[in-house]
Amino acid sequence: MNYSKWVILILLVVGLVACSTATGELEVTDVWGRNSPAAADNGAFYMTITNESGQDDKLVAVSADVCDVVELHEMYMKENDVMGMRPVEGGAIVIPDGETVELKVGGLHVMCLGKTESFELGNEYPLTLTFENAGDMAVTAAILQAPPVAQ
């Protein structure tokens, strides 16, 4: 194969990959992490996920180099009006077709257990989201000032 054929082949492959991501049927936006000092063992990431894929999907895992372990958590009301958090049922967050699911302060969140560095304002960390149907998706979380938690 000569050089120009290789170029055409590579362009075709790049085009196919671009198309498959450009369909963007599962869209992840506003990915951010809460600022927290190195002294805090754990951190949290939040994001908005919109599913226009035509079928239900599930966020089944998240990986991040800056966390020893990542879990998908939800806040819930314990007794005496005390909020607690726990891993989501089944270990996955369902993203129903045609709906938008918000991971936000006081609700669903990506729990970063065993932070390996201080989450300073302005830092950015790559996360890999794994969806049951859509597969892996790479996103970047910006570290922002966390809004006050509603009482």
Amino acid at 46: Y
Among 25, 50, 60, 85, binds Cu ion (CB under 5 A): 85
| Least gap, CB of 74 to Cu ion (angstroms) | 8
Residue 39 token pair? 């002294």
Asked if 47 and 127 count as a contact pair (C-beta separation under 8 A), the reply is no
Helix (H) or strand (E) segment spanning residue 90: none
Mark the segment that binds Cu ion (CB under 5 A) among 5-13, 55-63, 68-76, 127-135.
Answer: 68-76
Query: Of 58 and 73, which has the nearer Cβ to Cu ion?
Result: 73
Q: Determine the 3-state secondary structure of 98 from DSSP.
A: coil
| Interaction residues for Cu ion, span 93-122 (CB under 5 A) | 111
C-alpha pair distances (Å), 26 with each of 29, 76, 78, 107, 126: 10, 27, 33, 21, 18
Residue 143 binds Cu ion, judged by CB under 5 A: no
Q: Which amino acid is at 20?
A: S
Q: Give the nearer residue to Cu ion in terms of CB position, either 26 or 143.
A: 143
Query: Of 46, 66, 70, 73, which lies in the binding site for Cu ion, with binding defined by CB under 5 A?
Result: 73
Of residues 34 and 58, the one with the C-beta less far from Cu ion: 34
